[in-house]
Amino acid sequence: MDSERILVVLCILVITLLFCSRSVLAGDIVHEDDIAPKKPGCENSFVLVKVHTLIDNVEGKEFVGVGARFGTTMASKEKHANHSKLVLSDPPDCCSPPKNKLTGEVILVHRGNCTFTTKANIAETAGASAILIVNYKKELYKMVCEANETDLQIQIPAVMLPQDAGSILEDSLNGNSSVAVQLYSPQRPLVDIAEVFLWLMAVGTILCASYWSAWSARGAAIEQDKLLKDASDDYLNMEDTSATGVVDINTTSAVLFVVIASCFLVMLYKLMSYAFVELLVVLFCIGGVEGLQTCLVALLSRISFRWFKRAGESFIKVPFFGAVSHLTLAVSPFCIAFAVIWAVFRRVSFAWIGQDILGIALIVTVLQIVRVPNLKVGTVLLSCAFLYDIFWVFVSKSFFSESVMIVVARGDNSGEDGIPMLLKIPRMFDPWGGYSIIGFGDILLPGLIIAFTLRYDWLSKKSLRAGYFLWAMMAYGLGLLITYVALNLMDGHGQPALLYIVPFTLGTLLTLAKQRGDLDILWGRGEPERICPHIHLQPSQRESI
């Protein structure tokens, strides 16, 4: 069963890299249309706006828009905001005076054919109390002023709505329904408790996975020493089999890993659909079942109940899977049922709990199976992921007119609310709701090198302070914390966490190893030299070592 398990987990590992940059989003995606300097009449701070609706005097949906850099500001509390009737603009683009006379209504217009300020000036002159501009895409854009504009004394609020929200409102108006809207902009808290829990979740996952990996490595080393002590010369000449079920990454596979992920990302971007997201859900469930099963079997095997130990040590041959322990067969139905129930109910409000459980189990399992053998491979892997993250989040806009990573991670054109390869927690005290999230890759990829440091520390018998694991964990935690700070400073824009985590983690390890004189060992061999006193080597054998 080891080969099948490794294949499944490696496939999931490639997919997790695709989404390592959609980190710690606040639930809203806001892009800038143009970069324009502030000037008198066009110097508002960009704020999110709630658009509460009443359709035929019945509570309707509440939409989220973004306020323009021009126009007047809105109330911050719902009780201070007025209900105003909503009307459609005729012509729809509001680039010329509307045919219908306005007396304080809010006017709904389409984006395009003239500047935002032109639309707002025309709407204000016609008697509108506010203007809602419907974007031609799903996301929101910040409305700015052109460099040569002068007529900027606009005295009504201007708000942009995403395409889907505008379509719903327009359909209601075309169906002769009476629609009223209420515009207000509640302030978002600087820090939400969800971000604290997500930080603890990411750090705790790496901590648990690292200790499990180190325990396994130390146990394997002890077992190998015992075998070597009584082994014959024929055994000494056999290949090492202690690493069965463990995959060591090399520099070539680290580079290919990122190249393959990039190709798959472009394919998803070009062919994104409902079917693709469903395929990702299936793959996530397969990986989640394998991860949850592995974690449960390992945990139950260590419980001092005699039945669990016997069930974990007795095996039965299963077609296609090979030898499987009775304990694995016992927990498998539960794991499968858990994943299926999550997949069926993944759109309900509390489904994030099941997604996080499956995700953490998958990450811990991958960090147990896949390992970096030395600091050189870890540096190549994280450096490639660092460049991958930056390119597909920021640089790809120059080639594809939009951020490929964000579009794919958000699941545009798929009919689904994003992809499952991330951990998320609902924002608890944020009036805007949404989730704080972090991609699997932002935990898993740094986790590979952090787990390596703990294995090295234990095998070299270093104390926590004299070793490298403690400093690597602190560097990762600080890098992730800086990501949250950057997120809040960037008005909720998604930030690629590896942009901050990789320099902190790698920089700390390389600098510390250089100062301590361990860089050559960490970079090359990756583990301390272990000489068995009971093995007497010939001079030629010592030279080969």
Helix pair 351-369, 274-301: axis angle to 10 deg: 70
* Each residue's pLDDT tens digit, 438-492: 888 889 999 999 999 999 999 888 888 899 999 999 999 999 999 888 877 765 5
41/153 Cα distance (integer angstroms)? 6
At position 276, the amino acid (one-letter code) is F
284/340 Cα distance (integer angstroms)? 11
Q: Provide the b/e sequence for 500-536 (b: ≥16 CB within 10 Å).
A: bbbebbbebbeebbeeeebbebbbeebbeeeeeeeee
89/496 Cα distance (integer angstroms)? 40
Rg for the chain, CA atoms, rounded: 28
Low-confidence ranges of the chain (pLDDT < 50): 1, 3-4, 6, 8, 17-34, 232, 234-243, 535-545
156/121 Cα distance (integer angstroms)? 9
| Residue-level pLDDT at 530 | 62
DSSP track, 121-150: HHHHHHT-SEEEEE-SSSSEEE----TT--
| Residue-level pLDDT at 532 | 53
| Residue-level pLDDT at 413 | 58
* Each residue's pLDDT tens digit, 478-531: 999 998 888 777 655 556 788 899 999 999 999 999 999 999 999 988 887 765
Where does 30-184 sit in CATH, by number?
3.50.30.30
Active site residues: 389, 442
| Residue-level pLDDT at 475 | 96
Structure tokens belonging to residue 446? 């740094």
445/379 Cα distance (integer angstroms)? 11
φ/ψ bin of 67: left (φ > 0), alpha (ψ from -120 to 50), beta (otherwise): beta
Every domain of the chain and the residues it spans: 30-184, 193-227+245-525
Task: Tell which residue, 259, 248, 289, 221, has the closest CA to residue 391.
Answer: 259
